[in-house]
Structure 1
Amino acid sequence: MKKRLKLNLQSRLQIKTVPSIRLANFIELPEKEFSRFIEAVENNPLFLKLANPLTPEERVIIPQKFPGTRFSPHCFLSLDEARLADASPINLSPVLERHHKAIKLIRKLGLDKFQKYFIERTSAVLPEDIARILRLKKSQVEAINELMNEVSIHSEFYARSSLGTGHKISYIKVAKIEFDKDKNPGITFFSPRHFIGRYKIDYEKVEQLKKRDFFLSEDIGKLNALFGKLELINRRKNILYQTILGIIEKQKIFFVSGNKDDMVCCLQKEIAHKLSVHPSLVCRAIYGKSLELPRGEEKPIKDFFLPKKEYIKRVILTLFKEHKKVLSDNQTAVELKKTFGISASRRAVSNYRRELNFPSSRKK
């Protein structure tokens, strides 16, 4: 995770190319429908032809995970009915029973091989190739793939949220923020759909394959539709990833300390500006999604955005606690500027103080 996590220009340009209305509707899809959409695309014969060709030289579509991300595959290595029985809103027992042989195979393979050949899928992609490398039968590889496809649409399987009571909406825990040995923050995704990242499309190779008559006549007319769907998937994933990334960069001190007082002003429109998208897209991308903090606490992603007003009020409260008294509005304004670099008029400070239910220093 040595690469510095940052919002990059390429990502901003890629997002900007999608029509905003269509992208907005697509981002609003519930996670389960989004997974089903991906499954339908990946089962498209043309997709399979370009992602799993007979030779590597003909491969056009390659999964490309986002920088600084990891995957948490432990749920696939510890599958049992009891684990899912308590909080799952649906009964997944039939799924586990139907795929019990594939589950045993996953446990036997171990984490590294399972992740390399069934999650990342950047090397051998044909079932027969994977079967040969892992010394399995082709039918066994296909059985594991079938299990992956089925459980991937059930977010409660791999990302069950603890945010139930007290919340009006149902949350999906999409990732955990973790630090490596060098204290660099990274994103650990729970869903294999999110972890594999974007689909890298080699458009130059497409043109080369056209000249070699690689495509059937009926394939040519379907290419744009397929690539359009893949780019939509890429945009949705990228906006969520870059939003989480922006939050990490902004709230890094908080993630290290776990102290709410270390949270700083963070606005959705700031993230949206860096991505060159409308703030509503960021709002839609994070709706109903949560993150697990390094210490295990789970929070809705929206809670990491702290409006400037709330941030200043929190700083004022900290100042009063440190001085063990209510400062005058003028003193508070001076301290805000001097210590925190925050510009606020005396009148604004007065309003914030009243909202915090502190009397004037003169009355105090």
Structure 2
Amino acid sequence: MEKRKKHDLRLSQEQRQSQDLRLFSVLAAPEEDFLRQSAELEADPLFSRLCASGPDGAAPVLRRRLPGASYAFSYACGDAALAAAAEAGGAGEWLADRPAMLELARRAGQANFEKFFLSGSAFSPATAARACGFTPEEAAALKNFADAFTLAHERVPPRALPALYLRCAAVVTVEHGKLSAAYTHPGYVRGVYRIDRRALAALVRSGAISGAEAARAASLLSRAQRLAWRKAGFHKVLTAILEAQAGYLLRESGLKPLTQRQIAARTALNPATVSRLIAGKSLLLPWGEEMALNGLFLSKNAYISDKIREILGAGSMSMTDRDITEALRTTYGVRVSRRSVNLYRSKL
């Protein structure tokens, strides 16, 4: 009995290690590989069946939209390179309507466009038209186009996407003084998967899927869970970074001291996980500059050095260390010793 317990424990540990390795591979995968894995999962016929309700009305896989997630439709739709990639993938002649549809999206405004044309809620042409100042026919046309373009974008093979869409995660914008970020790939907006293994068991018992399919279904659900974990983790990290550096992105202040360890603490993730999630990714900032996500982190030492430079630039190089210490405290709320100021100053 004791030997069997040890054997079962060893198997359990090996299974956990195997799961950890698979999760690590998803976290560390380049964006192209991640999008490819997601597309392959979505295209799997058995996975499609798992997303449908079973005999008891429950589905083994439910999609849950990430809170606050949106799609950078106007940016993506206005990109000729992406439109060409979508057209090469069989998007059809309807892409010729892009200029007119982009103008309608602009007239609707970002908030209304996301509310009526990108959300998963029921669509009413009349309601959308009243809110946006359209005719019902224009609202219906924009909705159909937005749905078609989003689907066409998602179906572009990752290897055929313009390079920008593999490194730039989101477009950051400011509207009415409010900061928002929209993902450059609709797969993030589609959301994550919530797995119901009891629904899978019920599906197997009903005979809707065979025993052989059940084993593969369990594997698909595990893969979906790992992909969802990466999406949800990145969304949490991105949201936390934008909140922490809102002043900089709104051009109200400079970058604040921020480390990956601090973001890890805010998101309840491991610092190494945060590092993997943001590796190689960038953002398009409100003023049009592309910045690596790593560029939004600033160590406390670098921050203090920058502020000392500003103080010396605005004042006099003959300021004493005590003067600088006081200026740091009163102007920036930074409390450091005079000896530390002397050390920072010597390295400028």
TM-score with structure 2 setting the length: 0.71
Q: Distance in 2 between matches of 1:122 and 1:52?
A: 18
Q: Greater helix share, 1 or 2? A: 2
Question: Which of 219, 222, 227 in structure 2 is aligned with 1:228?
Answer: 222
Question: Which of 238, 243, 247 in structure 2 is aligned with 1:249?
Answer: 243
Identity %: 22
Q: Distance in 2 between matches of 1:336 and 1:115?
A: 43
Do the aligned partners of residues 353 and 77 (structure 1) sit closer, same or farther apart at CA in structure 2, a change above 3 Å counting? Answer: closer
Q: Which residue of 2 aligns with 1:3?
A: none
Question: Which of 169, 178, 183 in structure 2 is aligned with 1:184?
Answer: 178
Do the aligned partners of residues 94 and 347 (structure 1) sit closer, same or farther apart at CA in structure 2, a change above 3 Å counting? Answer: closer
Residues 48-59 of structure 1: matches in 2 within 5 Å? 48-53=48-53, 57-59=57-59
* Secondary structure of 1:41 counterpart: helix
Residues 273-352 of structure 1: matches in 2 within 5 Å? 273-352=265-344
| Number of residue pairs the alignment of both structures matches | 302
Q: Which residue of 2 aligns with 1:99?
A: 90
Q: Distance in 1 between matches of 2:326 and 2:99?
A: 64
Give, in angstroms, the shift of residue 44 of structure 1. 2.1
Residue 166 of structure 2 is aligned to residue 174 of structure 1: no
Q: Distance in 2 between matches of 1:351 and 1:54?
A: 68
Give, in angstroms, the shift of residue 75 of structure 1. 6.1
Give, in angstroms, the shift of residue 195 of structure 1. 2.0
Greater relative contact order structure (CA < 8 Å, 6+ sep) = 1
- AA at the equivalent of 2:169: V
Check whether the contact 1:264–1:311 (CA below 8 A) recurs between aligned residues.
yes
Give, in angstroms, the shift of residue 49 of structure 1. 0.3
Q: Distance in 2 between matches of 1:202 and 1:115?
A: 29
* Secondary structure of 2:187 counterpart: helix
Check whether the contact 1:102–1:147 (CA below 8 A) recurs between aligned residues.
no
Q: Distance in 2 between matches of 1:18 and 1:70?
A: 34
Q: Distance in 2 between matches of 1:347 and 1:218?
A: 71
Residues 193-212 of structure 1: matches in 2 within 5 Å? 193-210=187-204, 212=206
**TM-superposition CA deviations, 1:124-145 (whole Å, max 9, x none):** 9xxxxxxxxx99xxxxxxx989
Q: Distance in 2 between matches of 1:317 and 1:97?
A: 52
**TM-superposition CA deviations, 1:67-109 (whole Å, max 9, x none):** 2221122466457xxx32xxx9xxx968634515265498699
Q: Which runs of 5+ in 2 are unaligned?
A: 1-16, 106-112, 124-139, 142-147
Check whether the contact 1:199–1:230 (CA below 8 A) recurs between aligned residues.
yes
Check whether the contact 2:85–2:160 (CA below 8 A) recurs between aligned residues.
no
Do the aligned partners of residues 308 and 174 (structure 1) sit closer, same or farther apart at CA in structure 2, a change above 3 Å counting? Answer: same
Give, in angstroms, the shift of residue 119 of structure 1. 7.7
Do the aligned partners of residues 97 and 107 (structure 1) sit closer, same or farther apart at CA in structure 2, a change above 3 Å counting? Answer: same
Q: Distance in 2 between matches of 1:215 and 1:152?
A: 30
Q: Which stretch of structure 1 is more off in the superposition, 103-112 or 18-27?
A: 103-112
Residues 110-189 of structure 1: matches in 2 within 5 Å? 147-154=152-159, 156-157=161-162, 160=164, 172-181=167-176, 183-189=177-183
* Secondary structure of 1:69 counterpart: coil
